[in-house]
Structure 1
């Protein structure tokens, strides 16, 4: 077999240039490369381990520093606290109370001498001074030499403490650091002076060394006070005031001073090697009276930790090197056998390249070596055999594949036709551009929309033909980015020009296409026609500014225009006027002829206004039948003339619907700017008030706002209350109160009247008389009524759930019963809270009924059908009380308090009340007497057979939430 193998190898073609190159076995290449890699890994592992150990060491060191800082601060704080406790104890020492009260300096000295030695010995007090209330020194014991600066500083501290009687505890560092306490002396609650005590921090250093085991020193920055005998720290500008283990640590500090010229390096902590030992040094600023004056240096022996780090690194390196040697020996043995097999396969591969597939397989089989386990080289040999079979099979299939390619070309042609039909069917413009931005193709929808054929646009510039009016410079730049592939997509909208002269608004999307030659398209452009969408969008924008019925500006846009006019008027000092008016009897026209008639009337008025005002004037419909006109650059006479002209034109018009003719009139309020208001708020309020003045004059009139009738004050009052009401509504500052109503015969509370109050910002509770008039005038009254209705029913439901079974009478405004929204809200709230309508009554006043009696009566009937009841309030005040009693479906009448208040003193009131009761009982109504404020009045109404009593004698109104606390 060996001979056969050699013959075949001689015939295998080998390139001559391979023989000229020097041969290096993969065994050595791989072994050498893996050795270098493993060595790098070992070194990297050692380096990472070193970094990790050092990081752990640094973290532990930082934790120790933080602990040292806390311990030092705690020791200083304890020292200060002990001093303060000693200062508080001084007045209680034997014999000290009386001398201190008498401010007897000699007596203080004589008495305290016996205590001074004890304080100095046991508490390490360095000095103590007594000052009288006049800041003068009374007595002093001092073991330290205090210079004149310190004495002046002490005097300042004494004055600082003597006045507010608050102790201070400064830390003063000069040649050494002294913890001071300056505290007021109080004897039997009386201030008798100030005591000053001081203690050295030497005990703190010793206590720190005992607690932490680390050394500490005190460094004071004051170059003039350098001591003889210490090492030279002049470049640090410090001297060492105190130092534990001084002999050794002084040498360590000298070593640090030589290595670091700036002492600030010690703030982050440094490491110094001394006598083959490692020490960590870190300074901490001392929080003394003079900032940055003194620093504490902490010296820690870290020799053991550093040596442990070095030992660990050497052990890791040694283990890594041993593993490297073992790995190399194993790799060398593995590759020696493996590469021998690979060499056999490599020498027969040229046969495969020459197409000698059968000979290749025979040669490969002859070199096979018998072994127990297969490996990657065996897999390679098998793969080579499979490859030879595949190549042989592919060679046979080449001819057949040629025919298949022809068939595939036909299939691709069909797919291309399908894509073209798909593009022609798409409802979007689809075109392609080459690298020069010239159109190469256009689909059928694009031809239909632009009126251009594909041939007409072929080779033409996309920008020049379809969107010539666009900002071509920026678009051209972005199109070039699409061509070059710097940008993959571009979206934009543009006016696209058609061949017939029309334009379309098109949203374009340009996408980059991969291309290999200038003849192929580089951009796919898809355009979506959004012309109709833009038209609708413009219409919506118009609707946002206009009233759709009259085509006039709406309130929002009118306010913006008014703000601009006021701004120009202020800038150029031009006067102007605002006309504010509404149509007289518009509600009557709506009610009698229908809302269609009202709409027709509003259109007629807007048309007349457009014909009778100047081109620069601005007209708006503010809502309902309210209109306003801005007259820029006009004086009072001109504004009055316009108002008269408007009234004359309106009086000439009439509206006939359903054989009923309606005359048109209006009430116009005139306000001048800036005379009557420099902002929208004040100006509209002034015009609104003037309009109401015109109505008061008999309607179909104009009224010029004037300061003479105090209207401005009314405006400010109205604006003030309007803002207050809106704020309270927004922040839920309205409160419901309950006032009890007693059944006279049983002497039990039968039901409660719900009253409204408003809590002001300062907590003041305001009654409805303060804010209801403003709410009625500003149109906020309906919102208040809706709020009261919702809040009252929710409150009643909560009270019922708490187990209280009583009825409630809800007070609403006079306008509530003319509000069409009242009934739906009432139904919804009763259903929401699952309330029995029979436990709810409503109070209606004669004023409410007088405004629209048929409407009020109809609404009351519908509410009564739900099960609710009604109370006629203020009964007897008006002449029409009996008429309302007959016309309105009320259950209870409430006699006005003006007849009840003086019932026990006025016989006339007694006669009137008896008469009112007779009438009410004749109609079958129950009777309530309000303003029952005494036992005499209660006794009288009981004799009159009145059903219910209400008043302060029965119970005062209280917040509804207090009801649940009973």
Structure 2
């Protein structure tokens, strides 16, 4: 019998061994299958993610395109509406009613001429024509020499409006797009003819770029073949009237035109790759007079978005593969150990079948493998053991359950103590209320903040004790909804009363609690003390409207107040005045006594103004030492009296710092409203011009703006040059000239001064002296500085790439030293062109340094740290030349040409130049002589040991574009 049992056991072991081999192979099958499944999941997830990202990207672009379309349409509609409002305003201009009634061309011409300049300057009107009821031209003003099909189309529009007496606003696109308004003129209910005005869409395109940040171009179709020029895309037979960022975007359009022969493909939006960057182009047709004549193309750089999508997909794939590898390793280890355990159990199961329970338990214990986590094999082993020890197991389970309940009770007690400690230490008021709104508990922070103890508030109404102001019917109703469970939460802010009489601003959150009996809490109330936050919030709101130094309104708030006062004055027909002034010699006080003295002076001025003006007058500090006063409901004489009082009051004060006494004076410009301006921009401009007139009178004076003085001529000049500068920026009409500077000893020319010129519409080359003053006054000077810097560095990099080693001197304007963008642009350009900073120098005049000496010196130090150099121009002209030579970190001084020009004839100039050279060499500076116009002068400066020479004898300025051509020819 025993032999039979042993034989059966051996057979069972043999079968078990065969099964064991199959089990070992199972882990490889499972690992391979799971690998294929996980790999498929990773690939599917990458594909779905890619589709989702692209769909989201396309949706965002479509939304962006709809916004672009709305913005473009709004800009065109606003342009048309503004023109129509201007047309309606014309009969109400001074003298126009009488001139239109008598329909006298000369009278209309003389009356409207002063208004034409303002329309150009403030409304960008390009032309205006007046026609009588018989369609005959009465008067016209035109800054573009407009010619519309020999005026046949214009005559048709005028005749149509004269007959229908209804305005029309066609958009006509030929060489460029002009928005027209043809409107009837009604004077006292009578038809007095027709007015025609037009505005170019160029300003609207620039406004779109500022608003959206995308590049935009205006495309006009041509019937004839296009000329070979920079403004044509030949494959589409179109002319580019205007294009932002032209240098890059023109290449992009030509590339797209080669890929898409039909321009209509851009209507749905396309994406292209150009120079490792991704751009999206979208075509919008313009609703012009001639259908399918003009289009707007919007070019958006989406490189970062596309790269982000690609990076995201690669990251997802990498993470997925990494997870797959880790999962496979983990599965392999798990199945290896699991199958080993299963083998051990299977080996001892025959003992259980034979009834040898004790031996089974011993064998199972000897083959047991310790595992951190239980699994099905452990369950199988435990089930087998339980068959032999059912009674013992039941007793053991009862014992285990008893111990478990004790442990759970201890854990619950610890959790309750932890929650109580947490509530007491939380930096928030935590209290509970019963179903009637009476306080049941309060944490320690609530006791500290309210000064009440928990026992003092228990049983008292929450609303009556802590927030009595909230005893409104609406608040009681909301609390009842929370108590009843209709509302889960209630948020509100309330003034919470403390026991000591103080109040705190608390943000409350009341949450409904499910209670089973009246003794349990019904509401949990958590209060966060926001008193300090409210105080800081109020202070920040005050700072947003005030100048923190003088406590006066800042420029933004002052402009809002001025706009409201002008609106009230127009509604109730009450005249008013604006006083605009700055302090005389304020920069001198700052430079000699320090900025602390300047701040003290500004505070004194603000205090004196508060004592001088009326209660309803409004004072503001607009920036620096500029102040302004709004005088509502006052006549010109009253405004003049206030200006005199301000000057007298300022004249009584003086500031003594470091044994140096400074007196206070100001120059005040007076502008009346609505006489001198019906909006803040016109009024501030008039007051600003009047202030400069006061300075011209000798400072410490006032000046009342007048339409009859030469200020109007100045506005006309500014308008003229402002339009030329903006046109030149848009059409890239600024060019760089290079004038050679020769090393006197070696006779080598390796250095050039960069000079700026403007190409006029007729091809005339304009000097900077013509347009730089207007650029400084209109705020366009920074854009010119940036343009010159970029063009000069790009030109120098091109010369270096051609194999020529030269250096440039670039002139900086006086405003460059308060331009925070100049230094970052310089760094970016030098880096992008991989240019050695040592080959770039900057020229600065004494006048520019005097504008802001600390700012000039600080910027010069930062630029020199990059490796660039500096030249002090016009050396010797000012009395303080030697002072600036010591204070400014310059490398080269350029002796003013007024001393060099007559060296061969004037002994005095010879003495002066010798003296200037001695001083410059004493400071270790190199010396350049300009205006070297003869061989005799060059011979003289050679004997003076001057380093460099510049002038017409050395070489005249020539366009930078010709430099490489001449050098390559000379090779």
TM-score of the pair, normalised by structure 1:
0.49
TM-score of the pair, normalised by structure 2:
0.49
Larger Rg: 1
